[in-house]
Amino acid sequence: LVGELDLPGQVDRSGANAVLVAPQLALDAAESVPGKFAEPGRAAAFVDEAEGVLQRMLGGTAQAWRRAPIAIAAYSGGYRTAAQILDRGGLDARIEGLVLLDAIYGDSGIFAGWLARNHHRAFFYALHSKSSAEETEVLKTRLIERNVAYRNGDGPPAGVRFVAVETPHGEIARHGPPAEPLGAVLRR
């Protein structure tokens, strides 16, 4: 799916000093099971392993890789894995952003709790179509209850931002708008 969505190309064309790490979860599965990412600390262990590989490939020190900020991106059913990483992953101090591409179909309590704790230092940028509009409204309500401000409409990925789009679900991760949304957020 990463290749179909051209996420590596979006990251490359963004010009950002970034590396895309995409874990392989269930292949061709109808559900969005987060696998071992539901286990406490598993996401941190995954990142540690990835950093070791990246250090061997790209250089740098282990300390520099451990200080690198993390942005999590999820499309569609990837919301479950993103939520489990936020809830149990052991990476809170390093996560500086969350990009959800038509990926608010549940776990709004986890997202709202994470945003309540981290909105002052991390960004949240969510594109949503009609298919995820209902749960997006649930999340917005939970943010209001926690006094977390948000904005509607496209703009800088600072704070908490929701962008409603008319694009069909299957095309959002490539066409947004903005076009190539992951790359656009990284550029900003």
Find out whether 74 and 48 touch, Cβ atoms under 8 Å.
no
Spatial CA neighbour of 178 closest among 82, 69, 84, 187: 187
Please count the other Cβ atoms lying within 10 Å of the Cβ belonging to residue 84: 22
pLDDT at 103: 94
Say which residues have a Cβ less than 8 Å from residue 27's Cβ, sequence separation at least 6. none
Determine if the pTM surpasses 0.75: yes
31-66 pLDDT, tens digit each: 677 888 889 999 999 999 999 999 999 999 999 999
- Per-residue HEC secondary structure of 149-161 comes to CCEECCCCCCCEE
Residue 176 pLDDT class (50, 70, 90 cuts): very high
Q: Are strands 70-75 and 95-101 parallel, antiparallel or unpaired?
A: parallel
Find out whether 150 and 160 touch, Cβ atoms under 8 Å.
yes
